[in-house]
Amino acid sequence: MTEKPVLEWPISRLSRAIRDKEISPVEVTELVLARIEEANPVLNAYITVLTDEARASAATCEREIVAGSWRGPLHGIPLGLKDVIDTRGARTTMGAAHYLDYVPAANSAVADLLVNAGAVIVGKHNTHQFAYGPTGDRSHFGPVKNPRNISKMTGGSSSGSAAAVAAGLCFGAVGTDTGGSIRIPSAACGIVGMKPTFGRVSTVGVYPLSPSLDHVGPLSRTVEDNALLLNVLSGYDSRDSHSVPSAPEDFTRLLGKSIKGCVIGVPSSYFFERVDPDVAARVHLALRVYESLGATLRPIEIPGIEDIFLAHQRVIRYESFAQHMSMLRDFPEQYDEEVRARLRAGELLKTTDYLEARRVGTTAATVFSQVLGEVDVIATPTLSVYPQDLQQRDVIVDGGLTSVRDAMTRFTGFANLTGFPAMSIPCGWSNTGLPVGLQLMGRAQGEAELYRFAYAFEQEGMALEGAGLDSEMEIIGC
C-alpha cells in the first residue's frame, strides 16, 4: 500500500519521523505553508499566517533535534491557534474590528506550553466574532468555508481551527469552547475535538466570552493526536482562578484498552428528539459498533434536561454582556449585527435570573455525576443536523422549523455548565460526504477514559472513513 503524503500523516507518525531524522521540521513547515498559500484563499481558515516566525522556529527545531535534543511528540510539529489566544508579537484579533491592530506583549499560557514543547506555530485561525456563535460565518474577516463542501458552514466558533485541521493546513490546533465551540466545528468538519474538564487547561491570555463556561482544548485528525496535544496543554496555572490542581497525566495511557464489559449511557429522550433522521441513524449505527466491541448500551434519563439547557443559555448571555458592556456602549457599529444582537440580549437578564441559572448549574453537575456513576460514558449526537449552507439561519429538523443556531447548540452546552469533559469524534458520513459527529461525555477529570472509547471506535475504521485530505474535498476547485 502506498504511503500517504506527509500532510496526511497523524502527529504520532510525523513525530516519530522527525525524531528519527527521516524528515526535518523545516521540510514539514514548508509543506504546510505551501498548503496554506494554496487553500486558505478559498477556505479563509487563517487570519494571520506567521510565515517568517514559523520558518525561524522550524529551523531552531531542526538544529535542536540534529544535536540530539528532542523535546517530545510536538517538537517540530506545525500547529495553529484560534485567534482569541494571545501570541506575543503577533496580532490577536478576536475576529473583530475592535482588535484589528492588537498585538499582545505576552503569550497566553497555552501558547507558551506549545512553544516550550517545540511546536511550530504557523498562524492564527479565523473565528466567529468574539467566539460568540456556532455557525462560524460571522467574522470581521469573512466566513470560514467547510473543506468537505465549501458552500457549507464549518460550525463555530473555532471555525478556522477545524477547517485548517481537516484540510491539512496544520497538524493540530487549539480552540476554545463555551457552549460547544470546539466540538461543533469538529463535528461539522469531520475531525476530533476535546473540551476538557473545566480548569484542566489554563485560560490565561485567552479572550473571555463567559468566564465560568470558557474552556480551552485541542482539535486534531485522530484521537491519539488529540491526547498528545492535551498532554502538553493541561496543567495547573496559579494565575488562573479557575485552574484545578492535578498531577501530570498521560492521556494516551488507556488507548487500545478493551471496552468489553463497559457501559455506555444513551439518553432515552431529548438527545434524539428534533434530530435529522439521517444523523440519528448514523449515530445509532456507531453505537452498534460499540456493542460489537463488547460494550453494553444502557438507556438513561437525565432529569431536568430542558431547565439545564436554559440555564446554560442564561449564564452565557449574562456573562458575555458583562464582558462587552462598555464596548457595546462605545463602539456598537464595530460589531457584527448578529453578534451585537446576541450580546445585547444579555442586558435583559436580571441578576436573580443569573443566580438561579448558576444554581441550576450546580444541580446539573450533581445530576450528571449521578448518571455517570452508573455508566462509563454518555453518548449522543454532537449536532442535530448536517452542516448547513453559509449564512443560512433556519432549518427544518424532523418536520419542524428551527434556527440553525439552536440546532447546532442543542446538545453541547451541558458539558460547559457542568464542567465535565466532552469530545466529538467523526462517526459517519452523509451520502453527499458531510460528516456526522458522535459526542462522548464523561466524569470530571475523565479525559483518558473518553479517549479510550473514542480510540476504540476509531480503530474500527469507521470514524476516519473519508476523513483524509482526498480529492473529494471541495477546496481550491479540486
Q: Which residues are catalytic?
A: 82, 157, 181
What DSSP assignment string belongs to 77-137?
A: -EEEEETTB-BTTB---TTSGGGTT---SS--HHHHHHHHTT-EEEEEE--SGGG--SSS-
Alpha-carbon dihedral of residues 439, 311, 328, 207, nearest 10 degrees? Answer: -40
C-alpha cell at 344: 445585547
Closest to 142 (Cα-Cα) out of 320, 324, 328, 336:
336
User: In the 8-state DSSP scheme, what is residue 28?
Assistant: H
Q: Regarding beta strands 263-267 and 296-300, do their DSSP bridges make them parallel or antiparallel, or are they unpaired?
A: parallel
Q: Are 340 and 328 in contact (CB under 8 A)?
A: yes
CB-based contacts of 135-139 (< 8 A; 24+ apart in sequence): 135/388, 135/404, 135/405, 135/408, 136/160, 136/162, 136/185, 136/188, 137/390, 137/391, 138/336, 138/338, 138/339, 139/47, 139/95, 139/336
For residues 380 and 391, give the distance between their C-alpha atoms in angstroms, rounded to a whole number.
26
Closest to 390 (Cα-Cα) out of 125, 149, 103:
149
Q: Are 425 and 223 in contact (CB under 8 A)?
A: yes
For residues 95 and 160, give the distance between their C-alpha atoms in angstroms, rounded to a whole number.
10
Q: How many Cα atoms are found within 13 Å in the side-chain-facing hemisphere of 40? A: 23
For residues 415 and 365, give the distance between their C-alpha atoms in angstroms, rounded to a whole number.
9
C-alpha cell at 169: 493546513
Closest to 454 (Cα-Cα) out of 179, 82, 191:
191
Q: Regarding beta strands 377-381 and 120-125, do their DSSP bridges make them parallel or antiparallel, or are they unpaired?
A: unpaired
User: In the 8-state DSSP scheme, what is residue 25?
Assistant: H
- φ, ψ for residue 39 (rounded to 5)? -100, -25
